[in-house]
Chains A and B, each alone.
Chain A
């Protein structure tokens, strides 16, 4: 089913704040086997110039993808979420995410396309901290694979 083109450019209200915790960052770093002390040792992070431990570069995806999920499940859009795979992912950072951040995500649908029966959706998530400063932008390309012929 072709997606509704009128959704291009549509923005969604900012999410409720996500509070980044030291232990959540530690859990993520351990799950990817990354022992960089900047993720777990506040003194090591301070030595690099940060006020608290920072998160690995891809940590923020958990937050932006949840926000994007609310967008792609918008019933008016008509995307078959059960057939969605992750196509591309890109991040542009103003600064690393760090413990103590209270982050909100504002999602915008950048593009809606159909190619070879696949529906392709580009979602941009702008992440800001509690002071309104930009932290990171995440671009996520989702592909809903064409349903097999019955």
Chain B
């Protein structure tokens, strides 16, 4: 454990550096392979539409993995994350073009807790819609 952010240096309201993540169909195919989640709603437009989706959507777990990077890039040591949870509120729709979709993630310190731990609340949006709800991490700082 070697967090590079000190507990004493953050306050409730401290903002973490925001990040933007791009996701294309190629990203989803790569994530499917790495994660073992080959659900066709993440790569087969015909199938996605048949089950009532607007288009292919990103894996919820892909979005969850990207969102926590705002925390792990800030704190340096990914092992400083003690808890992390999200609710999947809206899908990230990924069109079949070179641009794909973008996921914008911001975060701020929402509470200072015991044992040098802070709660970070994350906000993740795509195409102007919130895609994760109750997105929170407990992080042990130095």
Contacts and interface: CB of A to CB of B under 8 A. Distances in A.
B88 interface: yes
Given A28-B34, A49-B1, A54-B79, A89 B72 contact: no
B48 interface: no
Interface string B48-61: 00000000000011
Contacts of A30: 30, 34
Contacts of A85: 88
Contacts of A61: 35, 61
Contacts of B79: 38, 48, 50, 54, 93, 95-96
A96 B61 contact: no
Interface in A1-60: 27-28, 30-34, 36, 38-39, 47-50, 54, 56-58
Contacts of B83: 90-93
Contact of A38 (B34, B65, B78): B78
A73 interface: no
B134 A88 contact: yes
Interface string A80-109: 000001111111110110000000000000
Interface residues of B, number: 34
Given A31-B34, A48-B77, A58-B64, A88 B2 contact: no
Given A56-B72, A58-B61, A86-B88, A28 B1 contact: no
B69 interface: yes
Interface of B: 1-2, 21, 27, 30-31, 33-37, 60-62, 64-66, 68-69, 72-73, 76-79, 81-88, 134
Given A31-B34, A31-B35, A58-B68, 16 more contacts: A30-B34, A31-B30, A32-B69, A34-B65, A38-B78, A49-B1, A56-B65, A56-B78, A57-B84, A65-B37, A85-B88, A87-B87, A90-B85, A91-B85, A93-B82, A95-B79
22 contacts: A28-B35, A31-B30, A31-B33, A31-B34, A32-B66, A32-B69, A36-B78, A38-B79, A48-B2, A48-B77, A50-B79, A54-B78, A57-B68, A57-B81, A58-B68, A85-B88, A88-B85, A89-B86, A90-B83, A91-B85, A92-B83, A93-B81
Interface of A: 27-28, 30-34, 36, 38-39, 47-50, 54, 56-58, 61-62, 65-66, 85-93, 95-96, 139
